[in-house]
Amino acid sequence: MKRLNFLRTSLLLLMVAAGGIPAVSYAETGVIVLMTRKCFIVDTNTGYVIVDGWVSASKGDTIIGDFNTYGSTKIFNTSGQDISGYIYIEDWGLSKSRLQDKWNDKYREKCT
């Protein structure tokens, strides 16, 4: 998994350098691991991210964005297209167990 993440990050940096993807502060790649009608969860190198909103992507897609902050941000696909709908980073840097706790306590009802 770490090798795959290294390869994704290397590919991302090459694409940004070549002008294929707009430069995003602290851009990171992540994979969408859960999507509901109102929220989605992204698995990143720095932990899980809970996002309120939607993107024009599907579960399993690799996406690029600033996932290490709260608030609104833009999210791109690996071709460099802005695929953001309305999105708001609710929580980030979560371990799997912390993600499960927060999802069950707060987000399950809000997001479905």
Task: Tell me the per-residue pLDDT of 17-50, one tens digit each, with 9 for 90 and over.
Answer: 545 555 445 678 999 999 998 999 999 999 999 9
Give SS3 for 18. Answer: coil
Give this prediction's pTM.
0.76
* Cα R_g (the chain), whole angstroms: 13
Most confident among 6-15, 17-26, 50-59 (mean pLDDT):
50-59
Report whether pLDDT(86) > 80.
no
Q: Quick one: which of 29, 28, 24, 32 has its CA closest to 50?
A: 32
Q: What is the pLDDT, as a whole number, of residue 46? A: 92
Across the chain, what does the average pLDDT equal? Answer: 82
The single residue listed with the structure tokens 């999802």 is 103
Q: Please report which confidence band the pLDDT of residue 87 belongs to, taking 50, 70 and 90 as the band edges.
A: confident
Report whether pLDDT(12) > 60.
no
Q: Quick one: which of 38, 35, 30 has its CA closest to 92?
A: 30
Phi and psi of 46, rounded to 5°? Answer: -100, 10
Report whether pLDDT(57) > 60.
yes
